């Protein structure tokens, strides 16, 4: 258990940026920024590194965060990546922020959530819909190393009563980081007639304005978060909300919350790619060293399972990349891809990592020889939101959009999605919350599948199976017969099955887009090779129940060789192929 006021045994005030010596880093691109963070995190294989695999596992067994983890991230200035550039921070794109936090999740999901993802998700409310003053205040807090808590859902136990000003009564659900947060985002329901009627309002509350003792500490076990992250609740009794606290308009809570969720909810699954990365690397290391009862590389089961998990990880990353970049590049169209990513990304990661248990043989339940790290990541992935309820909610978000999209899209004649969606590290415009729509008018992503036959023939892959483009056509025919704007008719097992099929097809289209972007870049490399694309698409076909042939031995060999190379050279297994724990270039001390 984490003591009140401490993190990893360090006083909370010492963890915050205020008073923490900070490394001065010159302006740099996304790849250089990730390399700099990796240098701070250190070699994951170094047993003496408190942020390495052994150190993190030991900290978890103590019930604490890794020693020095949060001070190291504060010294690096990771909190600056939660603040948009126009407000003095480094946040240029949500895909870049997620990639940085993924590096932390690669070590420890609890450290990543407690230090970063919780604050970034809450800060999206003022970034998307706050006033100039609210954005400036949020920027000051985050740039000072403070935390922001809340914003995950409408608070059923907290009510706002009266007109202007609002008065709050009740208590929130458990909030990550609430005991040490400098501000909280809460969404109370209105108690009845008055300003905003029976709706909800989003409030940004500064800790200094709250009554003494209003924020209480809770056991993380009661909140459903990793037990090493501080959690608490806000309890108020007829407290008057200060002027200027409402984000948006009074009564617009649902309108604001649903649009922010579009940007907030895909973030954590993208960061969770780091957990799957470490899990696969731990198993690969055990296989290459032939420890104990682990099946060796000569085993056909091992080869296919490792290749499958690697392909699933890449497919999940492709869908995450497209989704997060679409929030900047095509916000009016992003709702459909956001929902698909929220449902599918974590599922792909969990299934790919879960399959690795078959490789461990008699060691499947043993924590020795580095397998403790594997089991830790399995636990972290299993505990990651959205969970069953969140997955169902994501499918429900897709459902009412399918009939309209089937009538307007999903053919080769439609306009394709922007090429910039598929380019890791490419620049994006600032996030514009006002442009986020709850329903997409058309779907340029699946156009890539509809055009797959001709396009892949042009790329020299004339023999690529047409099963996915045929599946898209079949889905279109089925969804065109559904009623529009009547979600109640669709909310049944058949409707959810259609949504699931769409999510898998969106992932396939994202993979195809990333592969084509790599090919057109002309720089070569693994992502420009067809092996990973065809293996990932084959795995998606299996999940769709389509008759497909197994991946060729040549493709399997290419995939396995790439995974082994990255494991031996200490590189990440995601789209970025980042060197882990290497010295950052151009660092200055200040």
The per-residue pLDDT for 579 is 96
On whether both 379 and 238 belong to a single domain, the answer is: no
Residue 580 lies in a domain: no
Number of domains in the chain: 3
Q: How many Cα atoms are found within 13 Å in the side-chain-facing hemisphere of 265?
A: 28
Whether 589 maps to a domain, the answer reads no
Residues 480 and 518 in one domain: yes
Domain-located, residue 181: yes
Q: Are residues 122 and 169 in the same domain?
A: no
Q: How far apart are the first and last CA of the chain?
A: 35
Residue at which a domain ends, from 146, 173, 204: 146
Tell me, yes or no, whether 576 lies in a domain.
no
Same domain for 245 and 275? no
CB neighbour class for 407 (10 Å; exposed up to 12, middle 13-18, buried from 19) = middle
For residue 168, the domain's CATH number is 2.40.110.10
Handedness of CA 180, 182, 186, 188 (dihedral sign): positive
CB environment 363-397: b (16+ within 10 A), e (fewer)? beeeeeebbbbbbbbbebbeebbbeeebbebbbbb
Query: Above 80 in pLDDT, residue 123?
Result: yes
Kindly list the distances between the CA atom of residue 491 and the CA atoms of 153, 187, 497, in Å, as whole numbers in the listed order.
22, 27, 10
Interval 193-242: pLDDT, tens: 554 456 899 999 999 999 999 999 988 677 767 788 899 999 999 999 99
> What's the pTM value of the predicted model, to 2 decimals?
0.92
Q: Is residue 230 located within the same domain as residue 362?
A: no
- Flag whether pLDDT at 471 surpasses 80: yes
pLDDT of residue 16: 33
Shared domain for 444 and 506, answered yes or no, is: yes
Asked whether residue 588 is assigned to any structural domain, the reply reads: no
Average pLDDT estimate for 29-33:
93
Quote the percentage of the chain above a pLDDT of 90.
70
CA distance 312 to 344: 11
Q: Alpha-carbon distance 181 to 317, whole Å?
A: 31
Taking 60 as the threshold, does the pLDDT of residue 541 lie above it? yes
Return mean pLDDT, the chain: 87
- Residue 95 pLDDT level (bands cut at 50, 70, 90): very high
Query: Which of 225, 252, 279 marks a domain boundary?
Result: 252
CATH number at residue 12: 1.10.540.10
Could you give the CA distance from residue 307 to residue 265 in angstroms, rounded to a whole number?
Answer: 28
Mean pLDDT across 55-78: 95
* Of the candidates 578, 562, 583, 70, the residue with the CA atom closest to the CA atom of residue 284: 562
Q: How many CB atoms lie within 10 A of CB 301?
A: 12
CA–CA distance, 196 with 145 (Å, rounded to integer): 34
**Ramachandran category for residue 573: left, alpha or beta (phi over 0 → left; psi -120 to 50 → alpha):** alpha
Cα 514–chain centre separation: 18
391 to 83, 266, 276, 341, 387: CA distances (angstroms): 29, 12, 19, 10, 6
- Comparing 503 with 414, the larger pLDDT belongs to 503
Are both 387 and 535 inside the same structural domain? yes
State whether 272 and 385 are in the same domain: yes
pLDDT tier, 454 (very low <50, low <70, confident <90, very high otherwise): low
Write out pLDDT tens, residues 335-360: 999 999 999 999 999 999 999 999 98
Cα–Cα distances (Å) from 283 to 360, 390, 432, 485, 568, in that order, read 8, 29, 41, 47, 12
Q: Is the pLDDT of residue 495 over 90?
A: no
**Are 180 and 147 contacting, i.e. CB atoms less than 8 angstroms apart?**
yes
Domain span at residue 98 reads 6-146
What pLDDT is stored for residue 516 in this prediction?
92
Distance CA 123, CA 431 (A): 12
Claim to verify: residue 452 and residue 346 sit in the same structural domain: yes
pLDDT value, residue 294 = 78
* 248 in a structural domain: yes
435-451, pLDDT tens digit by residue? 999 999 899 999 998 88
Beta carbons within 8 Å of 85's beta carbon, 6+ residues apart: 91, 92, 430
Q: Is 229 helix (H, G, I), strand (E, B) or coil?
A: coil
Q: For the CA atoms of 432, 438, 442, 448, what is the dihedral angle to 10 degrees?
A: 70
* The pLDDT of residue 551: 67
Average pLDDT over residues 157-174: 89
Give per-residue pLDDT as tens, 248-301: 999 999 999 999 999 999 999 999 999 999 999 999 998 998 776 778 888 899
- Whether residue 383 sits in one domain with residue 303: yes
Which 3-state string (H, E, C) describes 155-200? EEEEEEECCCCCEEEEECCCEECHHHEEEEEECEEECCCCCCCCCE
Nearest of 286, 267, 268, 266 to residue 278 by alpha carbon: 286
When pLDDT is cut at 50, 70 and 90, the band that residue 361 belongs to is confident
Residues 16, 77 within the same domain: yes
Report if residue 586 sits inside a domain: no
For 371-411, the pLDDT digits (tens) are 899 999 999 999 888 787 888 889 988 988 999 999 999 98
Final residue in a domain of this structure, among 193, 225, 252: 252
186 forms beta bridges with: 203
Is 217 within the bounds of a domain? Answer: yes
Same domain, 400 and 493: yes
Residue 22, pLDDT score:
46
Residue 532 pLDDT exceeds 80: yes
pLDDT interval class at 20 (50, 70, 90): very low
């Amino acid at each position: 258990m984490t003591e009140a006021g401490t993190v990893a045994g360090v006083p909370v005030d010492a963890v915050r940026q205020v008073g923490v010596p900070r490394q001065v880093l010159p302006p740099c691109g996304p790849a250089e920024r990730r390399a700099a963070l990796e240098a701070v995190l250190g070699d994951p294989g170094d047993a003496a590194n408190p942020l390495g695999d052994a150190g993190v596992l030991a900290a978890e067994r103590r019930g604490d965060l890794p020693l020095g983890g949060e001070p190291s991230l504060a010294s690096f200035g990771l909190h600056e990546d939660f603040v948009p550039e126009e407000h003095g921070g480094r946040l240029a794109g949500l895909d870049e922020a997620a990639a940085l936090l993924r590096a932390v999740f690669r070590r420890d999901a609890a450290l990543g959530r407690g230090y970063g993802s919780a604050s970034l998700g809450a800060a999206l409310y003022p970034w998307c819909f706050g006033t100039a003053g609210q954005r400036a205040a949020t920027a000051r807090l985050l740039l000072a190393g403070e935390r922001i808590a809340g914003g995950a859902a409408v608070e059923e136990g907290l009510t706002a009563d009266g007109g202007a000003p609002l008065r709050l009564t009740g208590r929130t659900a458990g909030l990550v980081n609430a005991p040490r947060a400098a501000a909280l985002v809460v969404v109370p329901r209105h108690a009845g007639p008055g300003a905003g009627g029976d709706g909800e309002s989003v409030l940004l509350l500064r800790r200094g304005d709250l009554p003494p003792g209003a924020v209480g500490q809770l056991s993380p076990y009661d909140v459903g978060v990793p037990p090493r992250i501080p959690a608490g609740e806000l309890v108020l009794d007829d407290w008057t909300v200060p002027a200027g606290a409402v984000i948006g308009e009074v009564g617009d809570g649902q309108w604001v919350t649903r649009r922010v969720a579009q940007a907030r909810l895909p973030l954590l699954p993208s960061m969770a790619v780091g957990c799957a990365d470490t899990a696969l690397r731990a198993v690969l290391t055990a296989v290459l060293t032939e420890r104990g009862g682990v099946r060796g590389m000569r085993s056909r089961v091992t080869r296919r399972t490792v290749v499958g998990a690697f392909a699933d990880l890449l497919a999940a990353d492709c869908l995450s990349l497209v989704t997060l970049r679409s929030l900047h590049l095509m916000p009016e169209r992003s709702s459909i891809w956001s929902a698909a990513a929220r449902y599918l990304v974590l599922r792909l990661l969990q299934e790919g990592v879960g399959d690795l248990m078959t490789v461990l043989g008699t060691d499947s339940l043993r924590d020795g020889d580095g397998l403790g790290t594997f089991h830790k990541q399995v636990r972290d992935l299993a505990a990651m939101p959205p969970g069953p309820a969140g997955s169902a909610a994501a499918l429900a978000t897709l459902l009412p959009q399918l009939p309209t999209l089937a009538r307007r899209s999903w053919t080769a004649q439609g306009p394709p999605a922007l090429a910039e969606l598929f380019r890791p590290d490419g620049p994006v415009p600032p996030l514009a919350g006002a442009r986020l729509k709850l329903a997409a008018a058309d779907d340029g992503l699946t156009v890539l599948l509809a055009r797959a036959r001709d396009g892949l023939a042009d790329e020299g892959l004339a023999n690529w199976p047409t099963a996915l483009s045929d599946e898209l056509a079949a889905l279109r025919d089925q969804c065109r017969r559904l009623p529009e704007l009547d979600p109640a008719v669709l909310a049944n097992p058949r409707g959810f099955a259609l949504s699931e099929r769409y999510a898998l097809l969106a992932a396939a289209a994202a993979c195809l887009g990333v592969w084509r972007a790599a090919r057109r870049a002309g720089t070569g490399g693994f992502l420009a090779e067809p092996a990973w694309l065809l293996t990932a698409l084959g795995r998606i076909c299996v999940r769709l129940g389509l008759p497909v042939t197994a991946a060729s031995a040549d493709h399997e060999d290419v995939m396995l060789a790439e995974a082994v190379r990255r494991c031996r050279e200490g590189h990440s297994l995601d789209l970025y192929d980042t060197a882990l724990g290497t010295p950052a270039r151009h660092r200055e001390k200040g």
